Structure 1
Amino acid sequence: MYVRGIRGATTVTRNDRQEILDETLVLLQEIVDRNEFEPEDISSIWITMTPDLDAVFPALAIREMEGWNMVPLMCALEVPVQGSLPLCIRLMLHINTTKTQQEIRHVYLNEAKRLRPDLATS
Protein backbone atom coordinates (compact mmCIF):
# COMPACT_ATOMS: atom_id res chain seq x y z
CA MET A 1 0.00 0.00 0.00
CA TYR A 2 1.28 3.44 -0.95
CA VAL A 3 0.10 7.00 -0.43
CA ARG A 4 -0.31 8.49 -3.90
CA GLY A 5 -1.22 12.00 -4.93
CA ILE A 6 -3.94 12.63 -7.48
CA ARG A 7 -4.05 16.09 -9.01
CA GLY A 8 -7.05 17.77 -10.50
CA ALA A 9 -8.06 21.24 -11.60
CA THR A 10 -11.01 23.00 -13.14
CA THR A 11 -12.18 26.52 -13.80
CA VAL A 12 -15.40 28.44 -13.34
CA THR A 13 -16.71 31.30 -15.43
CA ARG A 14 -17.31 33.68 -12.51
CA ASN A 15 -16.91 34.08 -8.76
CA ASP A 16 -20.27 32.50 -8.01
CA ARG A 17 -20.99 30.37 -4.93
CA GLN A 18 -23.07 27.72 -6.68
CA GLU A 19 -20.80 27.43 -9.69
CA ILE A 20 -17.75 26.93 -7.44
CA LEU A 21 -19.57 24.22 -5.47
CA ASP A 22 -20.89 22.52 -8.62
CA GLU A 23 -17.56 22.49 -10.45
CA THR A 24 -15.76 21.22 -7.36
CA LEU A 25 -18.13 18.26 -7.26
CA VAL A 26 -17.77 17.59 -10.99
CA LEU A 27 -13.99 17.58 -10.63
CA LEU A 28 -13.98 15.34 -7.58
CA GLN A 29 -16.43 12.87 -9.13
CA GLU A 30 -14.32 12.64 -12.27
CA ILE A 31 -11.22 11.94 -10.16
CA VAL A 32 -13.08 9.21 -8.26
CA ASP A 33 -14.50 7.68 -11.45
CA ARG A 34 -11.13 7.56 -13.21
CA ASN A 35 -9.25 6.18 -10.19
CA GLU A 36 -11.87 3.93 -8.54
CA PHE A 37 -11.42 4.54 -4.81
CA GLU A 38 -13.66 5.11 -1.78
CA PRO A 39 -13.62 7.99 0.73
CA GLU A 40 -12.06 5.60 3.28
CA ASP A 41 -8.98 5.38 1.03
CA ILE A 42 -8.29 9.12 1.28
CA SER A 43 -5.67 10.42 3.69
CA SER A 44 -6.47 14.08 2.97
CA ILE A 45 -7.46 16.58 0.29
CA TRP A 46 -5.80 19.93 -0.30
CA ILE A 47 -7.96 22.43 -2.15
CA THR A 48 -6.69 25.69 -3.57
CA MET A 49 -8.38 28.50 -5.45
CA THR A 50 -7.01 31.49 -7.28
CA PRO A 51 -7.38 34.83 -5.44
CA ASP A 52 -10.25 35.91 -7.71
CA LEU A 53 -12.50 33.24 -6.12
CA ASP A 54 -13.83 34.06 -2.68
CA ALA A 55 -17.58 33.37 -2.80
CA VAL A 56 -17.41 30.05 -0.89
CA PHE A 57 -15.05 27.41 0.45
CA PRO A 58 -15.07 24.60 -2.14
CA ALA A 59 -14.57 22.12 0.72
CA LEU A 60 -18.22 22.72 1.60
CA ALA A 61 -19.30 20.81 -1.51
CA ILE A 62 -17.17 17.81 -0.55
CA ARG A 63 -18.12 17.91 3.13
CA GLU A 64 -21.82 17.64 2.24
CA MET A 65 -21.36 14.52 0.09
CA GLU A 66 -22.66 11.33 1.67
CA GLY A 67 -19.78 9.36 3.21
CA TRP A 68 -17.24 12.18 2.86
CA ASN A 69 -17.81 14.05 6.15
CA MET A 70 -14.73 12.52 7.84
CA VAL A 71 -12.27 13.13 5.00
CA PRO A 72 -9.69 15.71 6.14
CA LEU A 73 -10.00 18.80 3.92
CA MET A 74 -7.93 21.97 3.77
CA CYS A 75 -8.56 25.06 1.64
CA ALA A 76 -5.83 27.51 0.71
CA LEU A 77 -5.14 30.37 -1.65
CA GLU A 78 -3.17 29.52 -4.78
CA VAL A 79 0.02 31.54 -5.22
CA PRO A 80 -1.00 34.67 -7.16
CA VAL A 81 1.50 34.47 -10.01
CA GLN A 82 1.12 37.22 -12.59
CA GLY A 83 -0.46 35.87 -15.79
CA SER A 84 -1.57 32.57 -14.26
CA LEU A 85 -4.86 30.90 -15.10
CA PRO A 86 -7.73 32.77 -13.40
CA LEU A 87 -10.89 31.40 -11.78
CA CYS A 88 -9.19 28.07 -11.05
CA ILE A 89 -9.89 25.41 -8.42
CA ARG A 90 -7.25 22.76 -7.77
CA LEU A 91 -7.48 19.52 -5.78
CA MET A 92 -4.67 17.32 -4.48
CA LEU A 93 -5.98 14.05 -3.08
CA HIS A 94 -3.67 11.83 -1.04
CA ILE A 95 -5.00 8.29 -1.27
CA ASN A 96 -3.93 4.92 0.10
CA THR A 97 -3.68 2.56 -2.85
CA THR A 98 -1.79 -0.31 -4.41
CA LYS A 99 -1.79 1.49 -7.78
CA THR A 100 1.48 2.61 -9.30
CA GLN A 101 2.18 6.23 -10.25
CA GLN A 102 1.57 5.27 -13.87
CA GLU A 103 -1.90 3.92 -13.05
CA ILE A 104 -3.05 7.14 -11.37
CA ARG A 105 -5.30 9.29 -13.59
CA HIS A 106 -5.06 13.04 -12.99
CA VAL A 107 -7.99 15.19 -14.11
CA TYR A 108 -7.98 18.62 -15.76
CA LEU A 109 -11.32 20.08 -16.83
CA ASN A 110 -12.55 23.23 -18.57
CA GLU A 111 -9.83 25.86 -19.07
CA ALA A 112 -7.59 24.04 -16.57
CA LYS A 113 -6.72 21.63 -19.39
CA ARG A 114 -4.18 24.29 -20.39
CA LEU A 115 -2.25 23.69 -17.14
CA ARG A 116 -1.25 20.15 -18.05
CA PRO A 117 -2.25 19.29 -21.63
CA ASP A 118 -0.13 16.15 -21.33
CA LEU A 119 -2.45 14.88 -18.56
CA ALA A 120 -5.75 16.47 -19.60
CA THR A 121 -6.89 13.52 -21.69
CA SER A 122 -5.58 10.68 -19.51
Structure 2
Amino acid sequence: MRGIRGAISVENNTQEAIGAATKRLLRAVMDENRLKTEDIISVTFTLTKDLNAAFPAACAREMPGWNYIPMLCAVEVDVPGSLNRVLRVLVLADIKAGQREVKHIYLDKAEKLRPDLKD
Protein backbone atom coordinates (compact mmCIF):
# COMPACT_ATOMS: atom_id res chain seq x y z
CA MET A 1 0.00 0.00 0.00
CA ARG A 2 1.20 3.50 -0.82
CA GLY A 3 0.03 7.01 -0.10
CA ILE A 4 -0.15 9.36 -3.05
CA ARG A 5 -0.37 13.08 -2.37
CA GLY A 6 -1.65 15.85 -4.54
CA ALA A 7 -3.01 19.36 -4.55
CA ILE A 8 -4.60 21.82 -6.94
CA SER A 9 -5.55 25.46 -6.70
CA VAL A 10 -9.23 26.28 -7.20
CA GLU A 11 -10.04 29.60 -8.85
CA ASN A 12 -13.50 30.16 -7.35
CA ASN A 13 -15.48 28.97 -4.36
CA THR A 14 -18.23 27.39 -6.44
CA GLN A 15 -19.53 23.86 -6.74
CA GLU A 16 -18.52 23.83 -10.40
CA ALA A 17 -14.94 24.99 -9.77
CA ILE A 18 -14.39 22.60 -6.85
CA GLY A 19 -15.89 19.73 -8.85
CA ALA A 20 -13.75 20.41 -11.91
CA ALA A 21 -10.57 20.73 -9.81
CA THR A 22 -11.36 17.54 -7.87
CA LYS A 23 -11.86 15.52 -11.04
CA ARG A 24 -8.82 16.98 -12.78
CA LEU A 25 -6.58 16.21 -9.80
CA LEU A 26 -7.89 12.67 -9.36
CA ARG A 27 -7.53 11.90 -13.07
CA ALA A 28 -3.92 13.13 -12.97
CA VAL A 29 -3.14 11.01 -9.88
CA MET A 30 -4.73 7.98 -11.56
CA ASP A 31 -2.99 8.50 -14.92
CA GLU A 32 0.48 9.30 -13.58
CA ASN A 33 0.43 6.34 -11.19
CA ARG A 34 -1.36 3.95 -13.58
CA LEU A 35 -4.13 3.30 -11.07
CA LYS A 36 -7.49 1.64 -11.53
CA THR A 37 -10.34 2.46 -9.17
CA GLU A 38 -10.01 -1.08 -7.78
CA ASP A 39 -6.51 -0.17 -6.56
CA ILE A 40 -7.78 2.65 -4.35
CA ILE A 41 -8.31 1.85 -0.68
CA SER A 42 -9.48 5.29 0.49
CA VAL A 43 -9.20 9.00 -0.25
CA THR A 44 -8.93 11.96 2.12
CA PHE A 45 -9.51 15.49 0.86
CA THR A 46 -8.74 18.73 2.65
CA LEU A 47 -9.76 22.21 1.59
CA THR A 48 -8.57 25.58 2.76
CA LYS A 49 -11.22 27.39 4.79
CA ASP A 50 -12.12 29.64 1.85
CA LEU A 51 -13.44 26.65 -0.15
CA ASN A 52 -16.78 25.49 1.22
CA ALA A 53 -19.18 25.42 -1.75
CA ALA A 54 -18.92 21.65 -2.34
CA PHE A 55 -17.64 18.38 -0.93
CA PRO A 56 -14.82 17.01 -3.11
CA ALA A 57 -15.91 13.46 -2.19
CA ALA A 58 -19.38 14.10 -3.61
CA CYS A 59 -17.78 15.48 -6.78
CA ALA A 60 -15.49 12.44 -7.06
CA ARG A 61 -18.48 10.09 -6.78
CA GLU A 62 -19.70 11.48 -10.10
CA MET A 63 -16.72 9.81 -11.79
CA PRO A 64 -17.23 6.24 -13.09
CA GLY A 65 -16.29 3.63 -10.48
CA TRP A 66 -15.79 6.07 -7.62
CA ASN A 67 -19.10 5.54 -5.79
CA TYR A 68 -17.75 2.60 -3.70
CA ILE A 69 -14.44 4.17 -2.64
CA PRO A 70 -14.42 5.39 1.00
CA MET A 71 -13.75 9.13 1.01
CA LEU A 72 -13.55 11.84 3.66
CA CYS A 73 -13.37 15.63 3.54
CA ALA A 74 -11.82 17.96 6.13
CA VAL A 75 -10.67 21.55 6.54
CA GLU A 76 -6.93 22.16 6.14
CA VAL A 77 -5.01 23.80 8.99
CA ASP A 78 -5.27 27.59 8.54
CA VAL A 79 -1.60 28.58 8.72
CA PRO A 80 -1.12 32.37 8.38
CA GLY A 81 0.39 33.28 5.03
CA SER A 82 -0.33 29.90 3.42
CA LEU A 83 -1.69 29.51 -0.09
CA ASN A 84 -5.44 30.16 -0.36
CA ARG A 85 -8.06 28.19 -2.32
CA VAL A 86 -6.25 24.86 -2.32
CA LEU A 87 -7.72 21.38 -2.47
CA ARG A 88 -5.39 18.64 -1.22
CA VAL A 89 -5.74 14.88 -1.52
CA LEU A 90 -4.21 11.77 0.02
CA VAL A 91 -4.98 8.62 -1.95
CA LEU A 92 -4.18 5.29 -0.31
CA ALA A 93 -3.70 2.67 -3.00
CA ASP A 94 -2.83 -1.00 -3.14
CA ILE A 95 0.07 -0.80 -5.57
CA LYS A 96 3.50 -2.42 -5.83
CA ALA A 97 5.42 0.78 -6.62
CA GLY A 98 8.23 1.77 -4.29
CA GLN A 99 8.03 4.99 -2.32
CA ARG A 100 10.31 6.82 -4.75
CA GLU A 101 8.32 5.56 -7.74
CA VAL A 102 5.05 7.12 -6.61
CA LYS A 103 4.16 10.27 -8.52
CA HIS A 104 2.70 12.98 -6.29
CA ILE A 105 0.70 15.53 -8.30
CA TYR A 106 0.69 19.28 -7.65
CA LEU A 107 -1.16 21.38 -10.22
CA ASP A 108 -1.42 25.07 -11.03
CA LYS A 109 -0.60 27.40 -8.10
CA ALA A 110 -0.33 24.38 -5.81
CA GLU A 111 2.99 23.50 -7.51
CA LYS A 112 4.52 25.98 -5.03
CA LEU A 113 3.69 23.62 -2.18
CA ARG A 114 6.23 20.97 -3.25
CA PRO A 115 9.00 22.52 -5.38
CA ASP A 116 11.20 19.56 -4.41
CA LEU A 117 9.06 17.30 -6.60
CA LYS A 118 9.59 19.24 -9.84
CA ASP A 119 11.39 17.37 -12.60
Instruction: Give the alignment's TM-score, normalised by structure 1.
Output: 0.94
Deviation of 1:114 after TM superposition, in Å, equals 0.3
Deviation of 1:14 after TM superposition, in Å, equals 1.7
Deviations 1:48-104 (A, max 9, x none): 000000101011121111111100000000011111110000000000111101110
Deviations 1:8-36 (A, max 9, x none): 00011121110110011001000100000
**One-letter amino acid matched to 2:109:** E
- Matched residues, percent identical? 45
* Partner in structure 2 of residue 90 of structure 1: 88
**One-letter amino acid matched to 1:96:** D
**Structure-to-structure mapping, 1:15-94, within 5 angstroms:** 15-94=13-92
Corresponding residue SS for 2:94: strand
What's the C-alpha RMSD, in Å, of the aligned pairs?
A: 0.9
**Structure-to-structure mapping, 1:109-120, within 5 angstroms:** 109-119=107-117
Q: Which runs of 5+ in 1 are unaligned?
A: none
Distance 2:13 2:59 in 1: 15
Distance 2:73 2:58 in 1: 10
Instruction: Give the alignment's TM-score, normalised by structure 2.
Output: 0.96
List 4+ stretches of structure 1 deviating above 6 A. Answer: none
Matched residue pairs, number? 119
